[in-house]
Amino acid sequence: MKDRILSQLALLLTFIVLLGSSGGQLIPRKTDKPEYRDFTSSGGKTIKALLIDKTEDTLTLKLPNGNTAILSYEKLSKEDQEYVKEWDKEKALFLTQCKTLTIRELLEIRGYESFQFIIKGNHIFVEGELNGNKSQFMIDTGAGSTVLHIEAAKEKGCKVGPLDQKIFGIGGEAPAALTEVPEIRLGQAFIKDQVLLAADMFKDIPGARKNYDAILGAEFMSKMRAVISYKEGRIFFRPDLIGNNDEIEVPEAPEYRFFKTKDRKTYKGKISKKNATSIELGIEGQKKNLTLPIGRLTDEDQKYVTDWSPQREIFLRQCRGLTVKDILELRKYQSFEYKRMGNHIFVDGTLNKKDTLFMIDTGAFSTVLDAKWAKDAGCQVGPMDQTVYGVGGKAPAAITQVPSLTMGKAKFENRQLLSIDLFKQLGEAGGARPYGAIFGADFMRETDAVITYREKKVFLQPD
């Protein structure tokens, strides 16, 4: 019973209506520059150079004047030998040649399908289809499973059973119905022939607008290898990787590809240059390049040309071994491996210097503390004179002064948050509280969070 209640806390903060929140500000990031550094020889002489390649015995340096020098390891100081040992060519190429690529471009190169999401308040929504009908879905990593709004399920042809099930939310329990769902689809990502729960998700929220049809929960995100990027305002899926964790994310790119024109001519070549109206192709086996108007190409090849850039080409050919984790950490994100309880994901941090486990919840409008945990951590918890609303009705909450909340290098100081009894539904059988707070969409927007289900990590930009 305890496990079931914990999973049904999926809806815990999805519908919370807060009287106020501390808004986050997106901070522009600095770009990385080629790392020209001082290399010192074993004899004490120093040169400024950029490391561009290495073998088992030698390294190749690029000097500021453009010349190159090849040295053996033993000619370097011990400190520089260690630097060369740790140096990674793919990462260096990425920083010097591919740094202008956006997270969206990098993920789409790796075969992810992307969808722009809409932010309303702090909640994120995407367009898709429910049983072949256009629908809007809330993305909620705090929801253990996907849940339908019962009216939408009926309107869109799903078979809804009797209200003999229960779901639990912030205000208590609410009736739910087992529902046969033929299909939920976002582009190429879909689930078919599922039995899910449906409930009246807006019944207990005063003035609530029925402006979405379902919550896409953590089981959908995990199955589709989702990546959620607040900085990009997009969610990405790789449904082709279902059941295949060992597949290489970026297939090896052939040097030449076939370009087809609308008048049915075919050229095997590679793009060497492009402008707004034409491309210059290097044709296989020929020394002279061919210029083609972009408008002559088929629609598929026009899209390829539009997406093409020298940086993408370098990434595909020379940096394809980098993982999503590598790419984000090179962009100064700090990574956290998350823990799972059921379908929920958790990351370690601190609340007022007390070690605290946080649930990562995109469906939570704001970060919320468990009242007992907040008191134990020394936060100033006010009277329970505030009200939050959600599934099952309303619940009391307290304005709480938080001196500090940290997750790695991300630090939030002197914030005013709400505290509630997160585990009221566990009753006397609840025992130890499994986590102390919910890390909500407010702080995720502030730190440009990225959540990756394939690599089981959360990334934050703390500065």
Which residue positions in the chain have pLDDT lower than 50?
1-32, 247, 427-430
Taking the model in full, what pTM does it have? 0.77
Residues 149, 214 contacting (CB under 8 angstroms): yes
Tokens of 285: 């086996």
Q: Kindly report, residue by residue over 30-49, the tens digit of the pLDDT.
A: 444 566 888 888 888 888 88
HSE of 387 in the Cβ direction (CA atoms, 13 Å)? 6
Convert 241-270 to b/e letters by CB count within 10 Å (16 or more is b). beeeeeeebbeeeeeeeebeeeeeeebebb
CA distance 188 to 57: 48
Cα–Cα dist 340/266, whole Å: 51
Contacts of 5 (CB under 8 A, 6+ apart): 168, 425, 426
Count of Cβ atoms closer than 10 Å to residue 46 Cβ: 11
Q: What is the pLDDT of residue 236?
A: 93
CB 87 within 8 A of CB 54: yes
Query: Is 112 within 8 Å of 455 (Cβ atoms)?
Result: no
Question: Where does CATH 2.30.30.700 sit in the chain?
Answer: 37-87
Q: Are 182 and 194 in contact (CB under 8 A)?
A: no
Residue 125 has a pLDDT of 95
Q: Look at residue 414 and give its three-state secondary structure.
A: strand
Identify the bridge partners of residue 406 per DSSP, sorted by sequence position. Answer: 350, 411
Class in CATH terms, 37-87 = mainly beta
CB 348 within 8 A of CB 357: yes
Tokens of 166: 């229960």
CB 349, CB 429: distance < 8 Å: no
Strands 123-130 and 118-120: antiparallel
Sequence letter at residue 328: L
CATH architecture entry for 332-460: Beta Barrel (2.40)
User: How far is residue 350's CA from residue 404's CA, in Å, rounded to a whole number?
Assistant: 8
Range(s) within the chain of domains with CATH label 2.40.70.10: 332-460
- In this structure, the chain runs to a length of 463
For tokens 């509630």, the residue is: 420
User: Edge-to-edge, what's the strand order for the sheet holding 257-260?
Assistant: 257-260, 266-274, 278-283, 290-293
